[in-house]
Amino acid sequence: MTPPSLQVLFTPAESAVLNRRDLSDTVCIVFDILRATSTMMTALANGAREIVPVSEIEEALAVRRSRPEVILAGERNGLRIGADQTGGVEFDLGNSPREFSVENVSGKTIIMTTTNGTRALRACTAARTTLIGSFLGLRAIANWITAAPPRNLLLVCAGTLDQAAYEDALAAGGLCELICPDDAGGTVSDSAQIARQLYRAAQEDLFQAAKYGRNARRLLANPELRDDVAICLRRDVFGFLAGLSKDGAVRRLS
């Protein structure tokens, strides 16, 4: 059953004004496929206790000053945040899922800031429920939605810098494909139909399709990061849900 109201936000400008909307009866799914939400799912699968998304580097540093045991993770321009950006503190991890191994994150609290993904999550804090969206666990999200369709479902694509991100739109479309029957109409928005058609055209080879996107091209051009693209485009590796708790931390929900 399709939720009565289904909408996709493609750009950071759209999610930046979510604080003006009443989200109290809305479920938000946030997608930052390359790479924040994929990395969060990987961290939780490898035993991380929680991930606290923050918007700015200084917010992460402030948490570390009060809680020296936490792990700092994040990127700017795709690269791990370095001492030159913080006034002397080197972040422990970047934003590559390959860094978030069992050895590095099991039992740990991770404070994370990325260019787009953590900001998109923070924009959804007033929602009834906010879930972490990724290809890695798309079927689990679809099963949860179809079991008890929310009144309003908002798929939030984090984007890249101030623009839409192709891979985020593909993932949102993949979820629409799983939860919307072919004859879905009514309050299913045109944005959801656009995302769905994008996914339908690309679903047989997501890696090849994603290579047209700005994020994938940038990562593939970096020998140290290129493997992340294929890792983040794997489908249904994890069978659990993860979401934003009311205290602002991302945790496993099932």
pLDDT per residue as tens digits for the range 11-59: 999 999 998 999 999 999 999 999 999 999 999 999 999 999 999 999 9
Sign of the torsion formed by the C-alpha atoms of 133, 234, 218 and 71: positive
Question: Measured between alpha carbons, how far is residue 167 from residues 16, 61, 164, 187, 214 in Å?
Answer: 19, 30, 9, 24, 9
| Confidence at residue 48, expressed as pLDDT on a 0 to 100 scale | 98
pLDDT tens-place string over residues 94-120 = 999 999 999 999 999 999 999 999 999
Could you give the domains of the chain? 5-242 (3.90.1560.10)
| pLDDT band of 181, cuts 50, 70, 90 | confident
pLDDT tens-place string over residues 64-77 = 999 999 999 999 99
| Confidence at residue 187, expressed as pLDDT on a 0 to 100 scale | 67
From CA 112, how far away is CA 117, in angstroms rounded? 10
Phi, psi of 106 (to 5 degrees): -60, 125
pLDDT exceeds 60 at position 122: yes
From CA 236, how far away is CA 88, in angstroms rounded? 39
From CA 205, how far away is CA 163, in angstroms rounded? 23
| pLDDT band of 3, cuts 50, 70, 90 | low
| pLDDT band of 182, cuts 50, 70, 90 | low
From CA 157, how far away is CA 162, in angstroms rounded? 11
From CA 132, how far away is CA 112, in angstroms rounded? 14
